[in-house]
Amino acid sequence: MRLFIGGARGSRPAIGAAFSEFGGDTTSLLVVGSRGERLVLDAGTGMYAVAGQLAAGGPGDVAVLLSHYHLDHVMGLTMNPLFYKSGWAFRLAGPMFADGGVREAVNRLLSPPYWPITCDRMSARMTFAEFPATEMALGSLRVRGLRIPHPGGCLAYRIDDTDNGGSLVYATDLEWASRTPAQETEFLTLCRDGGGADGLFIDAHFARADAKVFAGMGHTCWEDCVEIAESAGVRRLLLAHHAPDADDGVLRALEKKAKDRAANAELARAGQWLAITD
């Protein structure tokens, strides 16, 4: 499968020349399966760049998997020009929480007073589904979801391309420090499957030195991400959910530290296309 990173910023967009290398848009990724299946992971402001890549491939079916409904992961739903074009069919899926699931969250956001055009007035076909308790299939792609610790809840996803063997674990947002022993086992098992995922895109919002400041905010330090990847035998570690105040200089320095610790670590950069194969 191939992976396009539309945005990898956390919490809120960052704007300006100082954020041009890693990008300022919040999280949204596009996975293209070996049969051309198109799967969007989260709809942060990077959704606009993802929509540009989708448009280049022509109209058709797109699955959109939302990890949870915090604004930095859904605000790009207001920025997808393809919702207003016929010929497109968007199948949105996400977790069910006590106060509703994907249908409620998306329709609440895309309606007055927050947005003038409701889903039923958009030209694209829009359908909604709770992410199934275990897994779903999309052509050659097998997708599994796992509840991970984050305030209000969040789903990690693992995508396996059953045609070419590539596998990606997507885990944002994640507060690793607040995990239970069972959650640790479940998450590491998901990452370890098949001898270790080929890619792990993971919340590395802060550094271990800041752990006290970030306690309870729902995020993980990059040092924990390196240890998770090592423990699970992950081949390529993509550190993401970059802190909104961290400019290119700060992130380059962080990437150097991470690479000194683990050669397979790198920071996700918006605008990148990556091949995820085994």
By CB under 5 A, name the binding residues for Zn ion. Answer: 10, 70, 72, 173
User: Which pair of structure tokens corresponds to residue 185?
Assistant: 């086992």
Do the Cβ atoms of 77 and 61 come closer than 8 Å?
no
Rounded to whole angstroms, the Cα distance separating 183 from 156 reads 12
| Residue with Cβ nearer Zn ion (10 or 94) | 10
Closest separation between CB of residue 73 and Zn ion, Å?
A: 6
Helix 181-192 vs helix 222-232: crossing angle, to nearest 10? 60
Within 8 A by CB and 6+ apart from 264, the residues are 229, 234, 235, 236, 237
| Residue with Cβ nearer Zn ion (19 or 88) | 19
Write down how long the chain is.
278
Closest separation between CB of residue 67 and Zn ion, Å?
A: 8
| Residue with Cβ nearer Zn ion (207 or 262) | 207
| Residue with Cβ nearer Zn ion (72 or 160) | 72
Rounded to whole angstroms, the Cα distance separating 71 from 92 reads 16
Closest separation between CB of residue 150 and Zn ion, Å?
A: 6
Q: What is the dihedral of CA 264, 183, 206, 217, to 10 degrees?
A: 160
Do the Cβ atoms of 258 and 267 come closer than 8 Å?
yes
| Residue with Cβ nearer Zn ion (72 or 224) | 72
Closest separation between CB of residue 68 and Zn ion, Å?
A: 6
Residue nearest Zn ion (C-beta atom): 70
Closest separation between CB of residue 99 and Zn ion, Å?
A: 15
